Amino acid sequence: MNTSTLLTSLLEIAGLTQKKFAELVGMSPSTLSQIISGNQHIRSDDSSNFCSKAARVLAHRTYSHRCFIEFKDLFPIIIDFYSRHDLEQFLLHAFQYVIENDREAREYSPAQRFENKHYSGYMQVLYMYCIIFSDYLLREKDSKMEFYSSLALFFGPYAKLYDRIETMLPPSPGDITYYHLFSPEKSIRNAGIYSTDVLKKIHELELFSDVYYMESDVDVDRPLFMLKDRYILLFSQQIDGTLQMTLLRNPADLAKFHDYLLETCDRASRRSYNQDEIEEFMLSHPDSDPDLNEKIRAIASLSNTEYQKPTEELVADFFKTVLKNDAALYLSADLISSFLYSTEAFGSYLNCSDLPLQVCTDYINLVSEYLHKYRHAKVYLVNTPLDNLTVICQGKLSVLSLVNPRTMKLKYHLLDTALLGPDITRLARETAIGPGEYFRKLNYEIEISQQEL
């Protein structure tokens, strides 16, 4: 991102001509044209005045309720602005950032060391996290990106930071891998400071990247965020709680932190697997948690075997296994509708595509009959993004299984029951529809559709 691309895009969003914008910021149209074409640069002594005026004019012309959506092509990582002033300050920081980028580009040499940059205060850290993250996402959009983060997602001050952020990357094919290092015990201790919607955050991350959770004894008070070979953000807090963030970009620093993170990941307990890896995990950890492994195997068997004709025994065996030892099964409504109307997504579970409607109907009928027969079975319906099912166990770990929309592969997140349980129980209450009732409704809709045909 540079001054030219930022200005051009913002003028288009604001519906302003170059001539009108130049007039509003007190600049000649020819000077503005030269800046946009890249033939002239904003001088250091003019930078502060230009950034302030440009941000004020553009915020006045573009601010409205949920206007952040208009900026998605410029800032795929952004916030929902509370006020016009909020947007103005964000744009002010964006202009300062790109002008500094342009200066560094003009002065670049192979031996150049990039100056570390420091940001302080909740809002400045929030703005710059979004601006820097967005800039590199756009720069590297055609490359493989590998992120590492130990920022607390669910509890504490950094979770509060994350909750302001809107991710505008579409769930389309891409090559973004995200390794999240976390300590459940340390994180949950910060729940009194701030708590977020755990399931919502898990699903949001999975929408734009292929996420892998790594349980590690990380320092939750001094986290970091890194895009491999590109930049690192180091976070800390002053004694009074003021957030601070430092940007590092020098190759030596990047290499040092990458080595540190690889060593940390090697020592960590991996908590996420895709469908190609889960069998190897269970074979290498046969005694780690037999009950959990049995439930994972029941889910994995749906995708690792050839399509089986739906039978009452097949359905009963699946439920018996996943509900064993007082476990509870939570099905997303999207998963069930995908089974009927979009076999591309559900194919990740059943290893099949283009199932005839009659076969889908047979499955729905058998599940409906099972739930009617065992009315007190702990099977619940939840409104969550993505096609997923979750088994909450009585032991330390539970399993959240979902289809990653970018890779279309089945993922397994083996996370603390204390982390997943409370939120998904709340969601089941809020959904306010029992699975038996939902399946009966689906049966009725199928019957009506078949009659119309």
CATH code, domain carrying 60:
1.10.260.40
d(CA 32, CA 407): 44
Last residue of a domain, one of 65, 93, 109: 109
d(CA 249, CA 231): 5
Last residue of a domain, one of 247, 270, 293: 270
Provide the pLDDT for residue 156: 86
Let me know if 218 is exposed, middle or buried by CB neighbors in 10 A (0-12, 13-18, 19+). Answer: buried
| Residue 254, C-beta contacts closer than 8 angstroms, at least 6 positions apart | 226, 228, 229, 230, 231, 232, 248
d(CA 192, CA 149): 22
Range of the domain at 130: 113-270
Query: Does residue 232 have a pLDDT over 60?
Result: yes
In this structure, the answer to whether residues 71 and 172 fall within a common structural domain is no
Provide the pLDDT for residue 164: 93
In this structure, the answer to whether residues 405 and 333 fall within a common structural domain is yes
The predicted-structure confidence for 133-178, as pLDDT tens digits, reads as follows 999 999 998 889 999 999 998 988 889 898 999 998 875 556 899 9
Last residue of a domain, one of 78, 109, 140: 109
Per-residue pLDDT averaged across 277-290, rounded? 79
In this structure, the answer to whether residues 20 and 88 fall within a common structural domain is yes
The DSSP symbol for 390 reads: E
Provide the pLDDT for residue 11: 96
What's the angle, vertex CA 399, arms to CA 172 and CA 213, rounded to 5?
60
Question: And the tokens for 355?
Answer: 């199932």
- pTM of the entire structure? 0.90
Domain total in the chain? 3
Beta carbons of 396 and 260 less than 8 angstroms apart = no
Helices (H), ranges, 184-246: 184-189, 198-208
> Where do the DSSP E strands lie in 249-304?
269-270, 272-274
Query: Does residue 124 have a pLDDT over 90?
Result: yes
The DSSP symbol for 70 reads: G
Beta carbons of 60 and 16 less than 8 angstroms apart = no
Per-residue pLDDT averaged across 431-440, rounded? 76
452 SS3 class: helix
In this structure, the answer to whether residues 260 and 122 fall within a common structural domain is yes
Beta carbons of 176 and 210 less than 8 angstroms apart = yes
379 or 304, which is more confident: 379
The predicted-structure confidence for 199-208, as pLDDT tens digits, reads as follows 888 988 988 8
Provide the pLDDT for residue 308: 63
The predicted-structure confidence for 4-36, as pLDDT tens digits, reads as follows 999 999 999 999 999 999 999 999 999 999 999
| Residue 426, C-beta contacts closer than 8 angstroms, at least 6 positions apart | none
Provide the pLDDT for residue 184: 83
In this structure, the answer to whether residues 82 and 188 fall within a common structural domain is no
In this structure, the answer to whether residues 120 and 105 fall within a common structural domain is no
The DSSP result for 396-449, as a single string, is: SEEEEEEE-TTT--EEEEEEEHHHHHHHHHHHHHHH---HHHHHHHHHHHHHHH
The predicted-structure confidence for 97-111, as pLDDT tens digits, reads as follows 999 999 988 887 777
Percent of the chain with pLDDT over 90: 48
395 SS3 class: coil
Query: Does residue 340 have a pLDDT over 70?
Result: no
In this structure, the answer to whether residues 342 and 427 fall within a common structural domain is yes
The predicted-structure confidence for 244-258, as pLDDT tens digits, reads as follows 999 999 999 999 999
Question: And the tokens for 388?
Answer: 């997923």
Of 381, 360, 362, 376, give the one whose Cα is nearest residue 428. Answer: 381
In this structure, the answer to whether residues 119 and 103 fall within a common structural domain is no
Of 365, 336, 369, give the one whose Cα is nearest residue 350. Answer: 336
Per-residue pLDDT averaged across 44-48, rounded? 85
Provide the pLDDT for residue 281: 80
d(CA 322, CA 106): 61
Tokens 């074979």 sit on residue: 283
In this structure, the answer to whether residues 256 and 400 fall within a common structural domain is no
Which stretch of DSSP H or E encloses residue 191?
none
Of 427, 359, 353, give the one whose Cα is nearest residue 390. Answer: 427
The predicted-structure confidence for 254-274, as pLDDT tens digits, reads as follows 999 999 999 999 999 999 999
Which stretch of DSSP H or E encloses residue 78?
strand 77-79
In this structure, the answer to whether residues 259 and 135 fall within a common structural domain is yes
Mean pLDDT of the chain: 87
Provide the pLDDT for residue 252: 92
Longest C-alpha distance within the chain, in Å?
Answer: 79
In this structure, the answer to whether residues 96 and 123 fall within a common structural domain is no
Beta carbons of 329 and 374 less than 8 angstroms apart = no
Tokens 């190897």 sit on residue: 280
